[in-house]
Structure 1
Amino acid sequence: MSEPPVSVLLVDDDALMRAGLEAILSSDRAIEVVGEASDGRVAVERVRELRPDVVLMDIRMPDLDGIAATREIVASAPDARVVILTTFEDDEYIFGALTAGASGFLLKRTSPELLLDAIKAVAAGDSLLSPSVTRRVIDRMAALPSGEAVLDRRIEQLTAREREVLEQLARGLSNAEIAGVLVIEESTVKTHVKRVLMKLGLRDRVQAVIFAYESGLTRPGQDRG
């Protein structure tokens, strides 16, 4: 029996952009566009009504912008995953969206193939960022003065191996790269990552990176393994 398609809500104040996105997403049978919204306020209402798996969200919109809408959606429908799709690669937008609970941040120049893959990945529980955005998250966290980090007691819930995985994840390594560093199977890394997120109450890998630095587990200046 085949899996049901990933349901997606499109949110953008540009009708032409919404039409283009729908055409791209509709080309993949594994994805179903279940609704649209032209601003953040309507998006919040549609999410409550339609319960989509993924919300594809613009940032600059009238009434309620994408970041504020993301915050409301995550609070009211925690199972919904938000992917920000924007023209603006601005630090304040990036970190505002991630702090609000977005599971992905992609630019509108992203290829259709990557967009389709991103929606499926986020629906499966992964996070997805443009490579340049991922690097900026790591760089910004690594630039924090050491004195700002306060050890979070939640770390005590992790096993020694889970801490090692989280430390490598915080340096921007993929599951395959972490497996190589720790000399374990990639499938084992994936299991450890899921357990880390569950134990720490984090939504995705991006929040795990931020947690590792802000909690003091990973210190600024440490190199990649």
Structure 2
Amino acid sequence: MSILIAIVDDKPINRQTVKDKLMGHSLIEIIIEARNGNDFLEKLKTASVKPDVVLMDLEMPEMNGIEAINIATAAYPGIKFIVLTVFEENDKIFEAIKAGASGYLLKEDSAINIIDAITNVFQYNGIPMSPSIARKTLELLKKLPIIPSTENEILSNNNSAGLSEREIEILKEMVSGKNYKAIGEKLFISPLTVRKHASHIYEKLHVNNRTQAINIAQKQKWI
């Protein structure tokens, strides 16, 4: 089954670059291209089939990416959004995540990373990030003073929440911002096996994504 994709960017050359990176991947089908948030929402309304994943630029005329994500996630909760931008500002990262983005990548990321992020979001409900974005997010999370009560409940039960040695190894690699392919290469396992371990980590920690898992692990000094 194909993963249906929308690309939203005000510059035609940027949309073409993304298309070129995705071209030839048998599981990906581009069904919508839009030049800004308004254009995207209008095309989404009339589309007989909705995209599974949207690659969304941030800075666009008429309606920017964060506004578009805010509106679209409320109206179409089944669609996943990955921000694809040149911006690394802290406020942009958190604004996008709060709006409902499921990932945050840089336009300079390789085709492999973008495709990996798409499949990660679609198949595993993860939150993929470029390594530099992951590091920035981790730095910001370290400054947060309070652990949510649900995390406190988890941590009071077990010092490592039942994570295996292999899962701790994978958490360490997640902190460095590596994607599943890079983690697999370092640990001599397949990307699919890494994904399965990551899924088990999220389940044991009762979280939904990499950032939350890293936050707990860092605060508890497991890694």
TM-score (norm 1): 0.73
**Cα distance change on mapping 1:63 and 1:207 into 2, 3 Å:** farther
Q: CA deviation at 1:54?
A: 0.6
1:206 aligns with 2:214: no
Q: Please tell me the residue identity of whatever aligns with 2:129.
A: L
> 2:152 & 2:43 partners in 1: Cα distance?
37
Q: CA deviation at 1:45?
A: 3.6
Corresponding residue number in structure 1 for 2:101: 102
Corresponding residue number in structure 2 for 1:5: 2
Structure 2: tracts of 5 or more residues without a match: 188-192
Q: CA deviation at 1:223?
A: 3.8
Name the SS of the counterpart of 1:9 in structure 2.
strand
Corresponding residue number in structure 1 for 2:201: 193
> 2:107 & 2:196 partners in 1: Cα distance?
34
Deviation string for 1:104-140 (max 9, x for gaps)? 1111111222222222222212221111111111111
> 1:188 & 1:114 partners in 2: Cα distance?
18
Name the SS of the counterpart of 1:99 in structure 2.
helix
The answer to whether the 8 A contact 1:162-1:196 is kept is no
> What number of residue pairs does the alignment pair up?
202
Identity across matched positions, percent:
29
Q: CA deviation at 1:153?
A: 4.5
TM-score (norm 2): 0.73
Corresponding residue number in structure 2 for 1:18: 15
Corresponding residue number in structure 2 for 1:139: 139
After TM superposition, list the pairs within 5 Å mapping 1:2-81 onto structure 2.
4-48=1-45, 49=47, 50-81=49-80
The answer to whether the 8 A contact 1:9-1:47 is kept is no
Over the aligned positions, Cα root-mean-square deviation in angstroms equals 3.4
> 2:195 & 2:37 partners in 1: Cα distance?
38
> 1:31 & 1:76 partners in 2: Cα distance?
24
Deviation string for 1:50-90 (max 9, x for gaps)? 42111000000112111111122222222211111111221
> 2:195 & 2:83 partners in 1: Cα distance?
28
> 2:158 & 2:175 partners in 1: Cα distance?
19
Name the SS of the counterpart of 1:149 in structure 2.
coil
Structure 1: tracts of 5 or more residues without a match: none
**Cα distance change on mapping 1:153 and 1:9 into 2, 3 Å:** same
Name the SS of the counterpart of 2:29 in structure 1.
strand
> 2:196 & 2:81 partners in 1: Cα distance?
27
> 1:162 & 1:42 partners in 2: Cα distance?
47
